[in-house]
Structure 1
Amino acid sequence: MKQRLFRFPLLFAVLLITATTTLAAPSSVPLSELFPSPTQTKAAIVINKVLERYHYRKVSLDRDFAASVLERYLKALDPNRTFFLARDVERFQNGARHLDESLRRGELDIAFDIFRVYRMRVGERVAHALKLLDGRFEFDTAETFTFESDKTPWARDAAELDERWRKRVKHDYLSLRLADKSDDEVRDRLRKRYEGLARRIRQFKGDDVFQTFMNAYTETVEPHTSYMSPSTSENFDISMKLSLEGIGAVLRSDNEYTVVQSTVPGGPARESGQIHGGDQILGVAQGLDGPMEDVVGWRLEDVVDKIRGPKGSVVRLQIQPKTSGSSKPVREVALVRNEIKLEDQAAKSYVIEDLANAPGLKVGVIEIPAFYRDFEAEGSGTADFRSTTRDVRRLINDLVMRGIDGLLIDLRANGGGSLAEATSLTGLFIDTGPVVQVKDAFGKVEVEADRDPGMAYTGPLAVLVDRESASASEIFAAAIQDYGRGLIIGEPTFGKGTVQTLIDLNRYVPGEKSDLGRLRLTMAEFFRISGGSTQLRGVEPDIRFPSADYISGHGERALDNALPWTQIDPAGFKKVGELRFDALARRSAERVAKDPGFKMLTERSRLVREVEDQKRVSLRESERRAEDERRNQRFKADQERFLRARGLTPVDEEADQVDEEALEKQRKVIARIESEEAARILADGILMQRGSNGPRAVMRD
């Protein structure tokens, strides 16, 4: 079987690599150098041909498509519409009337023209912002700041932009005041932030402009396709070749902020328990006492360069938690960069017993953080190389020996990994048969199947998933659901149902001496054996937890221009069971409604959704402080109520001295709220199926 690896799109930066050299500070690039080169012209022609021929979504480079490319390019440069004027945009649109024909010929003058104007406008706006910082702000007047977006009309003139920036600077100033910064500190930090923005834009080279424009082109096709310039390709190669060292976080750019997309199992970020998906990184500092450098407005690549470093060194991050909105509590997290070892990502198990709804029953839980396989050891001929399937088989045997009555597979926050492992892991719970279908850009469908007869476990089974369960996790959960082999419990999954491959553009131009870069191309889609895709919709659980009501803007669903859900013919497979879960869902809902732990988790999801949906905030300090305090109290009150119900004294994570052992216990208890309810659901199902005195689970070779 072919080996496929799939994870999140390359527009996210994975901080798993070690910096090996100290880079000199880049200098300002003369405007005379910001014009397209012959190499970029060739690359643009090749990219267009590759997309039209090989992309999974059929591409037609017509005028409507070209207009969308221009719109996306302007959004990439000015997402909040705070730099360009309406007259600038009108001129760009007039100059791009024949952009489709220009792109076919590799003509890129309009892209570079737009960037040169953008650089000028950034300089003007920064100069205005710095002038505003020298003035005085009043925070007791009734005034609001609106978070601008790509739906905001372009400013008609400089005076309108001035007003937008007055409110923006006031908002930035107030946010730092609310984070307990003195006025001198606020002015100094914002001055550096704005000056840094102008400086970084002046450092954009021709390759940077070209990559930004071509990614606007590729994202008009679909969000997981992206272009990598030669320098970006080199960094990608380093990340693939070096050992996994760093903080273990996947980052993405969201307007002017660097946002944590996810954390890597076994990495310092996840192990700290203080960094979560959706958190914003506001500052980065080196060592235990190095100065904190504001990184708001920085390019993602520049933030990555600041965070990565050698094993054993310390990096400090200033984090804005997702639930807190635009102000307190900002926290500082110190991380020791470290090697992320395979065993740190390995599956682990434990047993849940003393279930109130099923006295005497035991449910084994296997946590699988990733679908891993030691390809290097396998390639060198090592017979006992590590893999998810091998580790889970061993854990199953151990749990069955301990007398479990049912098994729960916990795939929360599992972002994917090896397709071969998703297939073989499914094979532990079915005899033989198809697991997933893969359809390529030419319509050919290939079926990945388990061909190894026998099962490692035949007893009652459930799978716990959440909004971060993606790719391989979705394939496994979908197969278990389609076969009727077990219950799927939790939240709808991420919805990443596409396959990407990396293409060296030089292969299409034989004899080309210049490096044209590479294209990360979506070339296939995953389909369930029942025919529906895992794309966009993900896997819908049989029994939903209440937090699922607040995730509409998460995962693939939140990506602009994502491929739609679709279906193909089912594969030939035979269900092994028909699960009836209506009664189980009712019983679970009754328990959850009374459970302080679920009340806490649901309130957290509600707060996150509230922050995400917020379009406007007050610029009156008293109102902002009151709103922040209200959110913080809601967050803390529910957590404290739950912990005290469990007999634990809540740990103040913001205290100067924190009891790390007690804090770790607290985090573990919170992390198991959902798995314990999933175990109760499974126990209900066991009792309903066979009665309270039925046989225990058995293992098979």
Structure 2
Amino acid sequence: MNPKNPLLLALLLAAPLAQSALADDGGTPALAAVTPGAALPTSATQDQVTAARHVYTLLSDSRYAYRPKPLDDALSVDMYDRYLESLDGGKQFFTATDIARFDAWKLRLDDALKSGDLDPAYAMFSTYRKRVNERVAFARALLTKDVFQFTGNDRYEYDREDAAWAADTAELDSLWTQSVRNDWLRLKMAGKKPDDIRKTLDKRYENLAKGIAELKGEDVFQTFLNSYANAIDPHTDYLTPRSADNFNLSMSLSLEGIGAVLQKQDDVVAIREIVAGGPAGKSGKLNPGDRIVAVGQGESGPMEDVVGWRIDDVVSKIRGNKGSKVRLDVIPVEMGLDSPPSRVVLVRDKVRLEDQAAKSKVITIPAAGGAPAQRVGVIELPGFYQDFEGRRRNANDYASATRDVARLLEELQGKDVDGVVLDLRNNGGGSLNEAIELTGLFIDRGPVVQVRESGGRVVVNGDEDSGIAWEGPLAVLINRGSASASEIFAGAIQDYGRGLVIGETTFGKGTVQNLIDLDRWPANETPRFGQVKLTIAQFFRVSGGSTQNKGVVPDIAFPASVDATEFGESTYDNALPWTKISAVPHVRYGNFAPLLPKLEALHENRIARDKEFQWWADDVAQYRAESEKTSITLNEAERRAERDREQAKRKARQEERKALGLALDPLADVTDDGLSANERDIVKDAEREKLAEDRPDPLLRESAAILADAIRLLDADKQLSAQVLPTANQPGHWAD
């Protein structure tokens, strides 16, 4: 059973990114007892008490927090509910009796945090860890029993968010029995034999308990403090020193280490991917799937056995300053774990995470209606990253989304593209400054975003540099996963009439956060207290409206892939409401309103003939229907019939792709193997992840086609062009 537990996600769950980190980052199984791990402290350390007080000072003071809230009984109840959610959001471990006992603290958490007496948080977690061990013991014992017959009408109720807490242990036993039976059935349908299923599931449940045993006091502290921070608003967070370091690395797209992506597999950390250009790749001595069993520092430091360690602890040993040496004892992927390791010595270096940087390609849209073919450049931007420290030092090579996009635009101009699509799908944001500077690549000076601070003062931030990197036709592709800085950029492009916005309504995050280092007040030389990601302002478009809650609405809409009630700012119960302020003067390069009906008609006509777009729309509808369900049948015949229908549909599509001359789907034959990511062959799983990048993308192709339509219409109809682009003689024009 995979608990819905944010505290565990980075350590336990099966998704590749959840158990990976950058290192620069058969018979019946014996029911061996799980080692409980080091005893957790029952109270906060003095540093944690100090950190908690700093966080309270920040979040309750309007000079810092955009929407401060008093730390009172009402907020204590909210904190209590959020802490319970973080521990047992799926209501799979605690009983109603546990909750009744915890309720004594419901109105006391505010006082506990103020005083630094965080014993309630540790006590609740101690019970949680005990309950997890009990559930794991029950699940492992169940594997030896004869409960794995899959006929009848039994169902596994997997969505318990709105369910009542289990009345007693017997009710939890019933819930877990169905969960274990579902796990067994998935593996059985994947072709696994009973003995193999028992071994796989026994190890899976054992690893769950081991993961909980690995959690430290700082994990509990961070989770509890975030129950307070998140009660202020959805985007305020507390970060321990290690978490803060990882956050800054993700923003800078660079780090100092060996250049390898690591993943935990059972008790061993293995290499999932080699980062091109890093020390590991240049050495030629490491490969995906290799297991790291010991780490040593420098030329002669002692080798530390890291088998059984948490992945972040292993990563911290492998990362280090540029130019320093690290020694790794490695067991190659093709050898058994009992084989003698090989010693690999690497010199750490600065590694650029190119896979997370902006990329470009060119899509050719065929000739139509007598108009020639159009070459449309595509720039995929996964985040608004910036190496803040590198920029502060004025380094020549600091990572910057804007600098990368500017370079790609220059390359695309050299390829004679007719238009550019900037793909911001699933771009969750990043640096506000990068959003402003990126907008400046497409407008010739002017305001980009209005920022209203906690005191009510409104500051207008804009592009101060004259000149445009790309003057031609532009479209911005967005979806529900486009948030924050993505919404600033898309909103500005829309307000300026500088380009078409295509896709889904965005996430709706219209607030600004800043990182505040809690060590700055005592001026600690080494990090002790962590950092707070604090909401300090709300941003507004130059037209005056906020993107908060409502998001950016596209000019040309695609079917919504997820419902607004399931994902987005509007799903947070304490999100800021939408509001509006005065607009600020800005240039309007174009007004696409007269053009949109024609583009819509061409779009609808084209997708009516576009099989891939239709398949995508069908899959979206199916996904949304499935997401409404809260349970799944445990009848094997029914499950096999469902699987066979899905496989037949995929096979039919693949055959149709061949008949139509379309690119084949590289994942068409992939079926549910019943395994978690850390149970799969690490090399094959990484390869499959890469194959997903090559899947047909009908939304991107259709976005390019819409932009090509706009170019052709404006080029062919001068009267329409004069309506849409009245300032065509200025920078940013579309048609000649």
TM-score (norm 1): 0.76
Q: Report sequence identity in percent.
A: 38
1:70-219 aligned within 5 A: 70-137=80-147, 138-219=149-230
Q: Which amino acid aligns with 1:431?
A: D
**Cα deviation, residue 596, structure 1:** 0.2
Q: Which amino acid aligns with 1:72?
A: R
CA distance 1:358–1:486, shift in 2 (3 Å): farther
Find the counterpart in structure 1 of residue 336 from structure 2: none
**Cα deviation, residue 668, structure 1:** 5.0
1:434 pairs, out of 447, 450, 464, with 447
Per mean C-alpha deviation after superposition, the further-off stretch among 233-242 and 660-669 is 660-669
Secondary structure of the residue aligned to 2:442 is: coil
Tell me the alpha carbon deviations over residues 395-436 of structure 1, each in whole angstroms, 9 at most, x when there is no partner.
Answer: 556655766554433333444444334323322332221011
**Cα deviation, residue 620, structure 1:** 1.3
Point out where structure 2 has 5 or more consecutive residues left out of the alignment.
1-6, 11-16, 26-33, 265-271, 278-286, 293-308, 320-327, 334-349, 671-680
Q: Is the 8 A contact 1:494 1:555 kept in 2?
A: yes
CA distance 1:682–1:289, shift in 2 (3 Å): closer
**Cα deviation, residue 35, structure 1:** 2.8
1:677 pairs, out of 702, 717, 720, with 702
1:464 pairs, out of 434, 456, 477, with 477
TM-score (norm 2): 0.73
**1:40 aligned onto 2:45:** no
**1:450 aligned onto 2:463:** yes
Aligned partners of 1:58 and 1:10: how far apart in 2? 29
Tell me the alpha carbon deviations over residues 585-632 of structure 1, each in whole angstroms, 9 at most, x when there is no partner.
Answer: 132122212210101221232343344333100111121222233234
**1:627 aligned onto 2:632:** no
Secondary structure of the residue aligned to 2:461 is: strand
**Cα deviation, residue 365, structure 1:** 1.7
**Cα deviation, residue 669, structure 1:** 7.2
1:365 pairs, out of 360, 377, 382, with 377
2:59 pairs, out of 19, 28, 51, with 51
Q: Is the 8 A contact 2:66 2:453 kept in 1?
A: yes
1:565 pairs, out of 578, 597, 605, with 578
Q: Which amino acid aligns with 1:124?
A: E
2:613 pairs, out of 586, 592, 598, with 598
CA distance 1:250–1:79, shift in 2 (3 Å): farther
Find the counterpart in structure 2 of residue 280 from structure 1: none
Tell me the alpha carbon deviations over residues 232-264 of structure 1, each in whole angstroms, 9 at most, x when there is no partner.
Answer: 44655777672487677999xxxxxxxxxxx99
Aligned partners of 1:664 and 1:88: how far apart in 2? 45
Secondary structure of the residue aligned to 2:608 is: helix
Per mean C-alpha deviation after superposition, the further-off stretch among 155-164 and 496-505 is 496-505
Aligned partners of 2:431 and 2:49: how far apart in 1? 36
Secondary structure of the residue aligned to 2:512 is: strand
Tell me the alpha carbon deviations over residues 66-116 of structure 1, each in whole angstroms, 9 at most, x when there is no partner.
Answer: 111111111111112122121221121124333333333232222222222
Find the counterpart in structure 1 of residue 364 from structure 2: 352
**Cα deviation, residue 136, structure 1:** 1.0
Q: Which amino acid aligns with 2:488?
A: I
**Cα deviation, residue 36, structure 1:** 3.3
Secondary structure of the residue aligned to 2:696 is: helix
Q: Is the 8 A contact 1:226 1:521 kept in 2?
A: yes
Find the counterpart in structure 2 of residue 17 from structure 1: 22
Tell me the alpha carbon deviations over residues 322-371 of structure 1, each in whole angstroms, 9 at most, x when there is no partner.
Answer: xxxxxxxxxxxxxxxx9545597244242524233562152432313244
Aligned partners of 1:244 and 1:417: how far apart in 2? 23
Tell me the alpha carbon deviations over residues 503-531 of structure 1, each in whole angstroms, 9 at most, x when there is no partner.
Answer: 23244568999933332222223221112
Tell me the alpha carbon deviations over residues 368-395 of structure 1, each in whole angstroms, 9 at most, x when there is no partner.
Answer: 3244567777666677987554555565
Aligned partners of 1:349 and 1:478: how far apart in 2? 24
1:530-679 aligned within 5 A: 530-548=543-561, 553-558=566-571, 561-580=574-593, 581-638=596-653, 640-642=655-657, 644-648=659-663, 651=666, 654=669, 670-671=696-697, 673-679=698-704
CA distance 1:308–1:541, shift in 2 (3 Å): farther
Aligned partners of 2:664 and 2:44: how far apart in 1? 63
Secondary structure of the residue aligned to 1:366 is: strand
Aligned partners of 1:635 and 1:305: how far apart in 2? 42
Aligned partners of 2:526 and 2:438: how far apart in 1? 45
1:29 pairs, out of 38, 43, 46, with 38
Q: Is the 8 A contact 1:230 1:517 kept in 2?
A: yes
Find the counterpart in structure 2 of residue 493 from structure 1: 506
Aligned partners of 2:496 and 2:58: how far apart in 1? 38
Find the counterpart in structure 2 of residue 524 from structure 1: 537
Q: Is the 8 A contact 2:419 2:472 kept in 1?
A: yes
CA distance 1:682–1:306, shift in 2 (3 Å): same
Aligned partners of 1:591 and 1:126: how far apart in 2? 53
**Cα deviation, residue 302, structure 1:** 4.6
Secondary structure of the residue aligned to 1:534 is: coil
Aligned partners of 1:350 and 1:475: how far apart in 2? 26
Per mean C-alpha deviation after superposition, the further-off stretch among 36-45 and 51-60 is 36-45
What number of residue pairs does the alignment pair up?
627
CA distance 1:676–1:431, shift in 2 (3 Å): same
Q: Is the 8 A contact 1:357 1:684 kept in 2?
A: no
Tell me the alpha carbon deviations over residues 9-65 of structure 1, each in whole angstroms, 9 at most, x when there is no partner.
Answer: 999789663167xxxx9972336x323344433332222221111222221222222
Aligned partners of 1:98 and 1:408: how far apart in 2? 53
**Cα deviation, residue 543, structure 1:** 0.3
**Cα deviation, residue 559, structure 1:** 5.2
Secondary structure of the residue aligned to 1:30 is: coil
CA distance 1:443–1:632, shift in 2 (3 Å): farther
Per mean C-alpha deviation after superposition, the further-off stretch among 64-73 and 390-399 is 390-399
Tell me the alpha carbon deviations over residues 169-227 of structure 1, each in whole angstroms, 9 at most, x when there is no partner.
Answer: 21222222223322112212222222333333344433332222112222222232222
1:328-343 aligned within 5 A: 340-342=352-354
Q: Which amino acid aligns with 1:78?
A: D
Q: Is the 8 A contact 1:34 1:205 kept in 2?
A: no
Aligned partners of 2:373 and 2:553: how far apart in 1? 28
1:472-491 aligned within 5 A: 472-491=485-504
Tell me the alpha carbon deviations over residues 523-552 of structure 1, each in whole angstroms, 9 at most, x when there is no partner.
Answer: 223221112223333321110112546565
Q: Is the 8 A contact 1:363 1:408 kept in 2?
A: no
Find the counterpart in structure 1 of residue 296 from structure 2: none
Secondary structure of the residue aligned to 2:60 is: helix
1:217-232 aligned within 5 A: 217-232=228-243
**1:689 aligned onto 2:722:** no
Secondary structure of the residue aligned to 1:448 is: strand
CA distance 1:497–1:246, shift in 2 (3 Å): farther
Aligned partners of 1:444 and 1:161: how far apart in 2? 53
Point out where structure 1 has 5 or more consecutive residues left out of the alignment.
1-8, 252-262, 269-285, 292-300, 317-337
Per mean C-alpha deviation after superposition, the further-off stretch among 638-647 and 471-480 is 638-647
Secondary structure of the residue aligned to 1:684 is: helix
